[in-house]
Every structure is written in C-alpha cells, then in structure tokens.
A and B are shown apart, each in its own frame.
Chain A
Amino acid sequence: MITETMGQYISYTAVFFNHLVLVYALGISASYVVLAIMSARAMKQYKERNSFVDYRTILASQFSPSVSLIAPAYNESMTIVDNVRSLLALHYNNYEVIIVNDGSKDNTLALLIDAYKLEKIDLLPDNQIKTKQVRGIYKAKNPAYHKLVVVDKENGGKADALNVGINVSLNKLIACIDVDCVLESDSLLKLVKPFMEEKTPVIATGGVIRIANSCVVEDGRLVKVDVPDKFIPRVQVLEYFRAFLMGRMAWAHVNGLLLISGAFGMFDKATVIKAGGYNHNTVGEDMELLVRMRRMLYEEKKPCKVAFIPDPLCWTEAPQTWDILKKQRNRWTRGTAETLLLHRKMILNKRYGILGLVSLPMWVLFEWLAPLIEFLGLVFFCVLAILGYANWLYFFSFLGLVYSFAIMVSVFAILFEERSYQQYKRPGHMLKLVLTALLEPFLYHPITVWAAVKGNYDLITGKKSWGEMTRAGFAQKKS
C-alpha cells in the first residue's frame, strides 16, 4: 500500500530525475558539440600544416629519432609471421622491432624462430622496470632481419610484456602496438613528427585506429578498405570516427588528452621509465600510463604535450560477436574507472591544469558515469511505468530528442571522415554507415551500456581479468 508521503516522495524524485537526466543529456550533448567544433578547427590546421610536409625528409635524415616498436604477443600463431614481416617492412630507417612472447601456450615462439632463423643471444635486459622473468632473447642470423628482436618471457599480461620490451629497447622513442594490428607503411614517420616539431616537449603521440573487419589483408598489409559486412563491427566504425576524429583530436588541440590507444601509440622512453612503466594492476594500462606520466610532469612543474594526428595509421580487428564486444566494453569500463580512481586526487585540482579541471571531470561525468546514469534512468522509468506513473508523452519526446541527437552526431562523424581522409570511397559505404547510425541506438547501444554497468559491478566485486579476446584473424582474407 503506497502512503501519501511515499507518493510525494516518488513524485518529487521523478521530477528531480526528469530534470537531472535532461540537464545531463544537454550537458553531454553540449560537450559533443564543443568537441566537434574544436576538432574541426584542429583538423583544418593539421591539414594546412601537413600540406607542406614531405615525410621523405624524416626517412632520409640521419638525425631522425630512433624508435623501438614493441609488440606483445600471446597465442598469436595464426598471424604472427606475416604480422612481423609487415612490421619489418615499415618505412623508417632507424628502428627495431621487439616482439615479446608473453608465455604463449601455442607455438608462437617456435614459428618466429623458424621463420626468421632466430638464435638465442646472451642479453641481460636493462631492468629499469621490474617485470616477470625473461626466459631468453633472440636475434636473427640473417642480416635482412637485423631489426628484429624476440623476447620470450613468463606470462604476465600485456602491461608486463610491454615493460619487458621497454627494458630491452635501445632507442629514445618507443612505439607500443598490438601485434595483430596492421600498420600503414608510413605510420612511424607520421607518429615521430610531432616529437620534432613542438617547442614544448612531446611525451606521447597517438593516431587514428581504424576497423579492419572485411578489409582485405595480404601478407600483413592492408590492400583493400571496405565497410565491415557485419553490423557489430560496422557500428564500431562509427564509434571510432566519433572517438578519434571528433574526440581525441579536440582534446589534443587543448592539450587535454588522457588516452593514447593501446593499439598504437608512441612515447618518450625516458618519461615512461621515470613514471614507472605500465601498471600491471589495471586492465586500462594504456590510459593509466599516460595519466601517470602527465601527473608526474605536472607535479615536477615540467610542461609537456600529448599530440594526436588524424591520419589513419593502424587497422585493427574489432569484436564481431556480442559476447566478445561485451567483454571488451566491460574491460574498458573497469580500466577507465580504475584509472580515474587511482588518480582521483587530480580531479578538480587546479594544480593539474586542464587535466584536473576539464579532462578528468568530463571523463568521470561523460565516460564513466554516463552508462550508469542511463541505466538508472531506465530502471527508474520502468518502476514508474509499472506503478502507472509514467508520462508517456514526455518519455517519447525525450526518446526522440536523444535519438535524433545520436543520429546527428554520427552523421557529423561521417562528415569528418568524408572531409578528412575518406577511406570509404564508394557511395554505398557511406549509405551503409548512415543506416547503421539509424539502428545503433536501439540495437547496439543498450548492449554496450549493459556491458559498462556489468564492468562497474565487476570492478566493485574485484574482478581483474582481461576476458578472453578471440579474433577471427585476417588470414582467411588472404588472396
């Protein structure tokens, strides 16, 4: 039996929630609009600057910075040989490729030894970051593969494998990548450039990650770009447009970037080591490292910059089943939350400049809490509906508002892609993406919200695992 006091309580709560959700929705929408405008400006400036750039200048110079490309590999036997070959063929002079076999259970190491005629060498890694035991280090007998170093170590996770790679690396810049990614041949040239063109020291650079599902990959090289056939990866194309072309580009423009994708990013090695390397205790090690590096430099009062370039540099295979997608989003949520909690001292702290006052609060509000608020709103609405108090007119008008805004942002992201690098050239590609944008809010978005809610639950219950990420691999697309 509902008493009158309870009824009043419900009604006031309902009104409060109505307003809260509306204000929140307007806030998040406004942030999208502001980011889009800033990103458009940054993109224009980048393209103007880049019209004067000839990357052969970097390629031809003996003064170009040296780079160590570090790729952790765990059970990658399907594609490892081709992927390493493509890494060795990148257009850059002064670089080494370090493959860290993170205790694979399959024959990843054996395949590498066989394909590249590797031999074990006596090398004591420079243990500036503490890691799990290194079992052996291998170099190729064939001088054609002199850039290749393979490290075999006990399984310790991606962060530990990357730290081993950092210890073994000899160069001033490190590029950390997922070994199953396909890099554009000029990606190192493009990623190195921001380190050379800023007055303020650049500590990290990231680039746009693209979805490679349904693209044709031959011998570890992307030869044909296509929009994914399946719905789930196709939505992720839109998500990546929004995140990279509209989001990170804008954040980098105001030096407020907090995340360089783990799939491909370049870092100043000395700063990484000084900050302590990748953190083993979080599943969001990529974001956590960058936040920690920036925090350290803010505390030392040393100005630094994190750059981002809009060129497509790296193609990765996106999850194409609901199950894998949910695991990925669960992990991303935990990683974000863990980083934000670890560095909570920075939030709304003016000592950390734009990071403390703008970037981190926005991550808390619009990245971490967004799915929770959405979920709570939905639960609350269901309660009202069951009790017969739902105002359906308001519900549908609000739904229309959110839906139309979501479509607008996606179409705006497609416009960014069109006006920047137009990787999807056929008109059919664009129509497919627009249709996907129409379906995304109903078919895809609820699943990711649920995965994020579950991620928060797992965080509270102390779940630490990555969740197995099986990939179909590119091998089947070989001609």
Chain B
Amino acid sequence: MQETILNILPTVNNQLVWFNLYLTVGFIGVTLGLFAFILLSRLRDGFRFAHRRRIEKDIQSFLTSYIFEDHTDEEDLTAFSRQYIQNRAHRQIVLENIVSLHKNLIGESADKLRHLYQLLGLQQYCKQKLYSGSWHKIAKGISELANMGIHKYSELIRTFINHPHPTLRSEAQVALLKLKSDAPFSFLDDLKEPLLDWQQLQLARAAHKSQLLSIPNFERWLGSEEESIVIFCLRMISSYGQHNAANAILALLQHPSVKVREEAIITLRQLETFDAVPILTSMFAKESTNIQLEILKALPAIGDHQSIPFFEQVMSIENRRLQLAAARALCQSGQEGKNKVLAIKNDPEHALQQLAATALSYQV
C-alpha cells in the first residue's frame, strides 16, 4: 500500500519541484530587479529634481532680466538659446517657466515675454505638439499656445473640439474661448460631443477669468439638439443675468428632457422671471417629484405671495417631501405665508403640525 502512494507522489512531484524552482528563481529575480529599480528611480528623481532647480534658477534669472531690463544683449540671447533651447528636456522647462510667468503678467511685460517665446521658436515647438499621436501631448501644446495668447493656430485647435478624449476636447474648447475674443463660444455651433459637467465648469471659470469683452447671447444655443449645451447655456444665462432670454427659457419648460426642464426652472428662479409663475403652477401636476420640488423652490423666489393658495393646495397632497417643500415655500412667501405655517404648528390637532415645525425651524 505504501508503495502505491510512493509510486505516484514522487513521479508527479519531481517534475513539479523543478517547475516550482524555476518559477521561484524567476520571482526572486523580478523582486530584486524591482527593488533595484525603486532605489535607482529614487536616486534619479533626486538628481533630476536638483538639476531642474538649478536650471530653473538660471532660466528665471534670464527671463526676469529680459522682461525688466530695457536692453538684452543679442549674444546673451543666443547663448541662452544654445544652452537651453537646443536640448529637448531643457526646452520644455524653459517653456513651462515662460507659460507660468506669462499667466501672472499683463501689459508690456506680458507682450515682451510673448515676443521672447516667439523669438526662441517655442511657438513652433508647441505647434508641433498638435501633430503628435498622443492626446496628452496635443492637449499640452494647445494649453501652452492658449496661455501664451497665440491666435494663429485657432483653426487648427478647433479641429480637436470633438476629439474622442474628453480632456483634449476640453483643453481645445477652453483654448478657443481664450483665443477667439470676438466670438469666444462660437465652437458651440460645431460641438457634436456632449459638454460634460466638468467641461462646463472649466469653460465657466475660463470665461470668468478671461474677463471676456464680448459675452454672447446664450439664448442662441437654447435650441441645440445636444441637451448638455442647452443646460450649459442656461447656466451661463443665469451667471450673466441675461434676462432677455426669458421667453426662450419659458419655452424650454416643455422640453422633452427632464434635466433641461429642471435646469430651466432653476434659471427662471435665479432670474426671478415673474412670467413663469402661471406656467410653473399649471405644469406642476404632470411633473415628476424632483421637478415639482424645483417648482416649489422657484415659486416663492419669483412669485412673492401670489402662490400662497397653490402652496396650501400642495400641502394637501399625500407626499411628505412635497408637503415639506410647500410648507417651506409658504414660509418664504412673506409674513402671510409664514403665519399660515405658524397656525398649523400651533394647532396640536393638525396632522401636519410636526412638518410645519420642521419647515419653520430648519434653515438651510
């Protein structure tokens, strides 16, 4: 019997032992390699960091003297170019420093820095990035050109606004906003991809920071087939207080998209569009709870106390969230509305007594 076992086990295991040993040696080799790589990469990173700091010190000193001194020696410029622009890695450091400094400058100093950027051929270098196969490089190139205010390649940049990579799309859109001062949002006409919330935030911030002279009438895109563009424009209308778009926004209350209708109600609230009151109350019954809640938030902001009977009516609907929102709306509809909620709160027999107390006390 023992023979049976020993006959089977060793024959299998002798092959497996070698298999295990080979793999073990392989794993140990890889582990040692990884360990060496970690050590070496730490050393390399430390060296690169120190080297970059040394170079940046030289570059920044040159840039400062170039901007703030009246005259820069041609020889100095040539020497700088030879030392830092010929080498690809150094050139990128020069570029990053120029772009970063340019962001913080205005007027003559900014113009001088832009001139230097062109003189050193960095504009061409950035343009070349736009032909790269990597989205990352293209986006970097676009960002650098936009930050340096180089308008020349706007049309080339425009070709990326529908790129499959969202970050590249976003960089192209922001760049066009910065570069096309006469029509900063014209790219919206050609947009086929959805404008993601993150891209909307970036565009809104870029528009705010760029202090655009020509703010378009965003009403123009409210008829777009892409719902994210409509939502973005509603937000912009609200941000820039474009009251003249009120009628177009009111028309959006019939839009098939729930998101668009919801955003339209928010915008009407923020613009305090008085004409919206009858439409909002009439559409209330057909809408989902979320839209109904938005309506109950909007009405007291735009309708003063004319909607009080409506709020009282909503409080009789068997939906706790709507009842609470209606009670809050009443509280916000002047003293008359508040008194009605107070009366419910002070009536111990009233079914909505605790809800009224909640509406009165919870200040959001």
Chain A residues proximal to chain B, CB less than 8 Å: 2-4, 6-8, 10-12, 14-15, 18-19, 22, 48-49, 51-52, 56-58, 60-65, 121-124, 126-127, 139, 170, 193, 195-199, 389, 391, 393-394, 397-398, 400-401, 404-405, 407-408, 411-412, 414-415, 418-419, 427, 430, 434
Min CB–CB distance A437 → chain B (angstroms): 9
Contacts A4-B1, A126-B320, A389-B9 known; A397 to B27 CB distance under 8 Å? no
The one of B1, B30, B198 in contact with A197, judged by C-beta atoms closer than 8 angstroms, is: B198
B357 at the interface (CB under 8 A from A): yes
B123 at the interface (CB under 8 A from A): no
9 A–B contacts from the bound complex (CB under 8 Å): A14-B5, A22-B16, A60-B208, A61-B205, A123-B361, A391-B9, A394-B20, A397-B17, A408-B28
Cβ of B17 and Cβ of A393 under 8 Å apart?
Answer: yes
Closest to B27 in A: A404
Min CB–CB distance B344 → chain A (angstroms): 12
B310 at the interface (CB under 8 A from A): no
Cβ of A196 and Cβ of B197 under 8 Å apart?
Answer: yes
Cβ of A124 and Cβ of B167 under 8 Å apart?
Answer: no
Task: Give bound CA distance, A449 to B143, whole Å.
Answer: 52
Task: Give bound CA distance, A15 to B12, whole Å.
Answer: 8
Cβ of B42 and Cβ of A418 under 8 Å apart?
Answer: yes
The one of B8, B358, B362 in contact with A15, judged by C-beta atoms closer than 8 angstroms, is: B8
Contacts A3-B1, A123-B362 known; A64 to B201 CB distance under 8 Å? yes
Give every chain A residue within 8 A of B38 (Cβ-Cβ). 411, 414-415, 418, 430
Q: Which of B5, B28, B204, B205 has the most CB of A within 10 A?
A: B5
Question: A7-B1, A61-B201, A124-B324 known; 8 other A-B pairs, CB under 8 Å?
Answer: A8-B1, A56-B205, A58-B201, A139-B362, A404-B27, A408-B31, A408-B34, A418-B41
Give every chain B residue within 8 A of A14 (Cβ-Cβ). 5, 8-9
Cβ of B196 and Cβ of A199 under 8 Å apart?
Answer: yes
B306 at the interface (CB under 8 A from A): no
Min CB–CB distance A16 → chain B (angstroms): 10
Give every chain A residue within 8 A of B324 (Cβ-Cβ). 124, 126
Cβ of A401 and Cβ of B24 under 8 Å apart?
Answer: yes
Task: Give bound CA distance, A122 to B355, whole Å.
Answer: 8
Cβ of A10 and Cβ of B16 under 8 Å apart?
Answer: no
Task: Give bound CA distance, A108 to B171, whole Å.
Answer: 48
Give every chain B residue within 8 A of A64 (Cβ-Cβ). 201
B side interface size, CB within 8 A: 58
Min CB–CB distance A453 → chain B (angstroms): 25
Q: Which of B35, B170, B239, B364 has the most CB of A within 10 A?
A: B35
Task: Give bound CA distance, A308 to B201, whole Å.
Answer: 21
Give every chain B residue within 8 A of A412 (Cβ-Cβ). 34
Give every chain B residue within 8 A of A411 (Cβ-Cβ). 31, 34-35, 38
Closest to A438 in B: B31
B192 at the interface (CB under 8 A from A): no
Min CB–CB distance A349 → chain B (angstroms): 31
Task: Give bound CA distance, A381 to B189, whole Å.
Answer: 72
Give every chain B residue within 8 A of A121 (Cβ-Cβ). 361-362
Min CB–CB distance A129 → chain B (angstroms): 13
Min CB–CB distance A274 → chain B (angstroms): 12
B220 at the interface (CB under 8 A from A): no
Cβ of A63 and Cβ of B4 under 8 Å apart?
Answer: no
Give every chain A residue within 8 A of B47 (Cβ-Cβ). none
Min CB–CB distance A97 → chain B (angstroms): 14
Cβ of A199 and Cβ of B17 under 8 Å apart?
Answer: no
Cβ of A7 and Cβ of B13 under 8 Å apart?
Answer: no
Cβ of A415 and Cβ of B37 under 8 Å apart?
Answer: yes
The one of A6, A15, A407, A427 in contact with B27, judged by C-beta atoms closer than 8 angstroms, is: A407
The one of B16, B205, B360 in contact with A397, judged by C-beta atoms closer than 8 angstroms, is: B16
Give every chain B residue within 8 A of A127 (Cβ-Cβ). 320
Cβ of B27 and Cβ of A401 under 8 Å apart?
Answer: yes
Closest to A412 in B: B34
B194 at the interface (CB under 8 A from A): yes
Closest to B168 in A: A52
Task: Give bound CA distance, A3 to B1, whole Å.
Answer: 7
Task: Give bound CA distance, A430 to B10, whole Å.
Answer: 42
Closest to A47 in B: B136
Cβ of B358 and Cβ of A394 under 8 Å apart?
Answer: no
Cβ of B5 and Cβ of A427 under 8 Å apart?
Answer: no
Cβ of B20 and Cβ of A398 under 8 Å apart?
Answer: yes
Closest 9 interchain pairs by CB? Answer: A7-B1, A122-B357, A196-B197, A404-B27, A397-B20, A394-B13, A11-B5, A197-B198, A196-B198
B305 at the interface (CB under 8 A from A): no
Min CB–CB distance A436 → chain B (angstroms): 14
Give every chain A residue within 8 A of B205 (Cβ-Cβ). 56-57, 60-61
Task: Give bound CA distance, A400 to B357, whole Å.
Answer: 70
Give every chain A residue within 8 A of B139 (Cβ-Cβ). 52
Cβ of A57 and Cβ of B202 under 8 Å apart?
Answer: yes
Give every chain A residue within 8 A of B200 (Cβ-Cβ). 63
Q: Which of B4, B171, B200, B354 has the most CB of A within 10 A?
A: B4
Chain B 30-57: CB-based contact to A (< 8 A → 1; otherwise 0): 1100110110011000000000000000
Cβ of B4 and Cβ of A8 under 8 Å apart?
Answer: yes
Task: Give bound CA distance, A408 to B5, whole Å.
Answer: 35
Task: Give bound CA distance, A197 to B143, whole Å.
Answer: 19
Cβ of B354 and Cβ of A124 under 8 Å apart?
Answer: yes
Cβ of A63 and Cβ of B235 under 8 Å apart?
Answer: yes
The one of A2, A11, A197, A419 in contact with B166, judged by C-beta atoms closer than 8 angstroms, is: A197
Cβ of A48 and Cβ of B31 under 8 Å apart?
Answer: no
Cβ of A407 and Cβ of B171 under 8 Å apart?
Answer: no
Give every chain A residue within 8 A of B2 (Cβ-Cβ). 7
Task: Give bound CA distance, A121 to B358, whole Å.
Answer: 8
Cβ of A18 and Cβ of B201 under 8 Å apart?
Answer: no
Give every chain A residue within 8 A of B235 (Cβ-Cβ). 63
Cβ of A12 and Cβ of B197 under 8 Å apart?
Answer: no
Task: Give bound CA distance, A139 to B358, whole Å.
Answer: 12
Closest to B174 in A: A52
B321 at the interface (CB under 8 A from A): yes
Min CB–CB distance A200 → chain B (angstroms): 11
Chain B 123-143: CB-based contact to A (< 8 A → 1; otherwise 0): 000000000000010010001
Task: Give bound CA distance, A49 to B362, whole Å.
Answer: 41
Contacts A2-B1, A122-B357, A393-B17 known; A15 to B31 CB distance under 8 Å? no
Closest to B18 in A: A397
Task: Give bound CA distance, A65 to B196, whole Å.
Answer: 13
Cβ of B204 and Cβ of A61 under 8 Å apart?
Answer: yes
Chain B 299-338: CB-based contact to A (< 8 A → 1; otherwise 0): 0000000000000000000001100100000000000000
Cβ of B13 and Cβ of A63 under 8 Å apart?
Answer: no
B23 at the interface (CB under 8 A from A): yes
